[in-house]
Amino acid sequence: MAECEDLGLLEAAETTKESESLPSLKEKLATLQQEKENIEADFGQKRAKFKEIYLQKEEELRKEKLAVQESQEIAITLQEELEKVKGELEGIKTAVAYSESNKQDEIASIHKQCQQEVASLQHLMKEVANEASRNTALKYETESEKLQELNENYEEELQDLRNKLYGSGQDSGEGFLSTVAKQLKLVSVGQHSSSTTQSEHESLEESMKKAQADAEILKSVVMPLEDEVKVLKAKLKQADEKIQHLQSQHSPVGGMSPSHRQTTPDTQSLPDMDQVRDPEERIKELLHYLRTEKSSRKDLEMFVAVLTTQKNVLSEDADKLRLELEDVCTILDEEKKAHEELKQTWQMANDQFLESQRLMMMDLRRMESVLSTEQQRQIAELQQKDLEREAQEKKVKGLEELRLKQQRDQEERRRSEAMKKAEEATEGWGAENRRE
């Protein structure tokens, strides 16, 4: 019975404990449910943020991929252009090598053709000269024979006429000699004019331009110097007048008359001092007057000394400017004379050059008239080849300049990119330092 009572008591205690712990467990369950909801809400927010960051990174990655793709496309295009330029350069090099290899052959062939043409021309000239000499000899022989026959037939009838025409024959001989002398002078002048060259003509033009520029410079220097000399002369004249005026106004004290002395409120003139009866007062006034006169004389002497020094300085400057002006005038006269001489020399050289060019053109036309059609055709072909070679050289030069320009552009692009990277690196380093 006692054991049953004990069991009953235990069960009652357990039921009371369960009844007491049930509300606390409900409270714990509610708090746990609230924490769960809070954790789920926080997880949702973090998940949304993570999703946003993920999308942002995906967009940045896509942009970077596009930038890398564009840079790869640019690199591919640049590589293609580089290959193209390399191919053109190789073609130009081969063309240049081919032209250089053919150049010597062409020069040798042209030289040989020129020698052959010169030899053929000399041979033709010799044949023409020999033929002309033979024809003239035959002509003179036939004419001399005819004249001899006529002289034999008409010797008796022309005996009187020979005596009368003797004097006129001398006059005609003298006229013939004078005309021959004039022609020889003209020929010598023509030969002298043909000896001038185009280099002398260009040097004379340059010297004339230089002389004109020097004359303009000297003129621009001389005009301001003349104006400055005029101004200095006017200043010297004014200074002389001022010195003379001051010297006429301020003479030594003993030589000044009482009527020319000026009285001030502090000083009195000598006739006014005679009216003072007190000796001591009079002595004081005289001493004061002497001191003021001495100070004014010193001031006047200093002023005159300053004016004389200014006058001396201005006169020295005027003398220097006058000498410089004379030197400049002499130089200007010499330059004018030299300019006139150069102008005359240039005119003579120009006339001689034009005359020599005219003679050369006449010789060239004469030679072209002697040449055959085949030779003229060969000369035209050579001229056409020269023109084609010059055009090819110009093309090569243009391509070389284009290549150099592209290289300069690439170097500038690389330099600008390096500068941008350096600026970005410095900005990043500065931002990190500011964060620290």
Tell me the average pLDDT across 243-267.
49
- pLDDT in the model for residue 84: 82
Q: Is pLDDT of 292 > 60?
A: yes
Q: Is pLDDT of 396 > 50?
A: yes
Q: Is pLDDT of 207 > 70?
A: no
Percent of the chain having pLDDT more than 90? 0
Tell which wins on pLDDT, 166 or 181. Answer: 166
- pLDDT in the model for residue 289: 66
Q: Is pLDDT of 196 > 50?
A: no
Among 19-33, 187-201, 341-355, 379-393, name the one with the lowest average pLDDT.
187-201
Other C-beta atoms within 10 Å of 349: how many? 20
**Band of residue 67 on the pLDDT scale cut at 50, 70, 90:** confident
Q: Is pLDDT of 70 > 50?
A: yes
Spatial neighbors of 265 by CB under 8 A, at least 6 apart, are: none
- pLDDT in the model for residue 413: 83
pLDDT single digits (tens) 299-336: 777 777 777 787 778 778 778 877 877 887 788 788 88
Among 88-102, 188-202, 267-281, name the one with the lowest average pLDDT.
188-202
Specify whether the CB–CB gap between 300 and 248 falls below 8 A: no
Residue 27 to residues 20, 22, 24, 40, 199, Cα–Cα distance (Å): 12, 9, 5, 20, 120
- pLDDT in the model for residue 162: 55
Spatial neighbors of 214 by CB under 8 A, at least 6 apart, are: 335
- pLDDT in the model for residue 176: 41
**Band of residue 432 on the pLDDT scale cut at 50, 70, 90:** low
Tell me the average pLDDT across 48-71.
87
pLDDT single digits (tens) 12-41: 555 555 555 788 888 888 898 898 888 888
- pLDDT in the model for residue 2: 46
What distance in Å separates the CA atoms of residue 279 and residue 302, rounded to the nearest whole number? 34
What distance in Å separates the CA atoms of residue 244 and residue 221, rounded to the nearest whole number? 35
What distance in Å separates the CA atoms of residue 68 and residue 62, rounded to the nearest whole number? 10
Tell which wins on pLDDT, 115 or 59. Answer: 59
Dihedral sign computed on CA atoms, order 49, 53, 58, 60: positive
- pLDDT in the model for residue 185: 44
Tell me the average pLDDT across 51-61.
88
- DSSP letter for each residue of 317-338: HHHHHHHHHHHHHHHHHHHHHH
Tell which wins on pLDDT, 274 or 282. Answer: 282
Compute the mean pLDDT over every residue in the chain, rounded to the nearest whole number. 70
Q: Is pLDDT of 411 > 60?
A: yes
The owner of tokens 């449910």 is: 33
- Identify the three-state secondary structure at position 190: helix
Q: What is the pTM of this model?
A: 0.25
- pLDDT in the model for residue 275: 54
Q: Is pLDDT of 177 > 60?
A: no
